[in-house]
Amino acid sequence: MITSPSSLRRSERSRRAILRASLDLCTERGYGRVTVEAIAARAGVSKKTIYRWWPSKGAVLLEAFADVLVDATPFVDTGDIGADLRAHVAGAVRVLSVPPFGPAYAGILSELHHDDTLARAVREQLVDPRVEEAVGRLRGAQDQGQIPPGANLPLAVEMLYGPVYYRHVLGKPVQDEETVAALVDHVLRALRAPGY
C-alpha cells in the first residue's frame, strides 16, 4: 500500500470505517463531492488519522477500489486466447459499470495529472500487473502458434485497454459484452494478419 508510517498500533477498526465511508460517500454524492472532512465525519474518525495513513483522498479510494478490481479481473488460461481476453476485459468493464466503482475510478484517474504519487500507485498496483498478465497470456498463445512470432504484444494490450479508458474518461463507458467481444476480435485479427 501507499501507507507506511510503520505501526502495528494502527486501528483496524478505523481503517475499515474509513474505506467503507469513502465508498459510501462516493455512491451517494459522486467522487467529486467526497472530501476528507466528510470521510472523517462519516467514519467517526479524526482527519488526522486519515492523513496519518494516506496521502490523499485519491489514495484512500484507490485502496478501497483495488481489491474489488483485482477480484473482478482474474486471469486464467483455458487454451482459447480469445475467450480468455474477453473474460478479462469483460470483468473490468463489469466492475466499472457498477456504482460506485465506475465513478470512483474515473475520479481517481482525474487526480493522476496532479498527483504523481497516486499516478505511480495506480500504474504499479492496478494497471501494470493487469497489462503484464495480458501480455503474458498473449505470449503463451504465441508460443502455441495462435499468434505469429514478432507480433507487437504490448501495443495489442494497449489497443485493448485504450478504448475502454477512452470511453470511460469521456463519460460514455463501455457497457455491453458485444463491444468487448468485437474489440478482442479486432485486436487478434490485427495480430494474425499477414505483415509481420
Q: Which residues bind DNA (CB under 7 A)?
A: 5, 7-11, 14, 17, 33, 35-38, 43-49, 51-53, 56-57
Map the footprint of a copy of itself across residues 1-20, applying CB under 8 A: none
Cell of 77: 488460461
Which of 74, 148 has the CB closer to a copy of itself?
148
Which of 35, 144 has the CB closer to DNA?
35
Which of a copy of itself, DNA, none binds 57 (CB below 5-8 Å, type-dependent)? DNA
**Interface map 118-147 toward a copy of itself (x if CB under 8 A):** -x--xx---x--------------------
User: Where do we find the cell 465525519?
Assistant: 41
- Are 99 and 27 in contact by the 8 Å Cβ rule? The answer is yes
Which of 46, 144 has the CB closer to DNA?
46
CA angle 153, 159, 162 (to 5 degrees): 130
What is the C-alpha separation between 179 and 196, in angstroms, rounded?
27
Running DSSP on this structure, what letter comes out for residue 73?
S
Which of 19, 157 has the CB closer to a copy of itself?
157
**List of residues 6+ apart from 44 with CB closer than 8 A:** 17
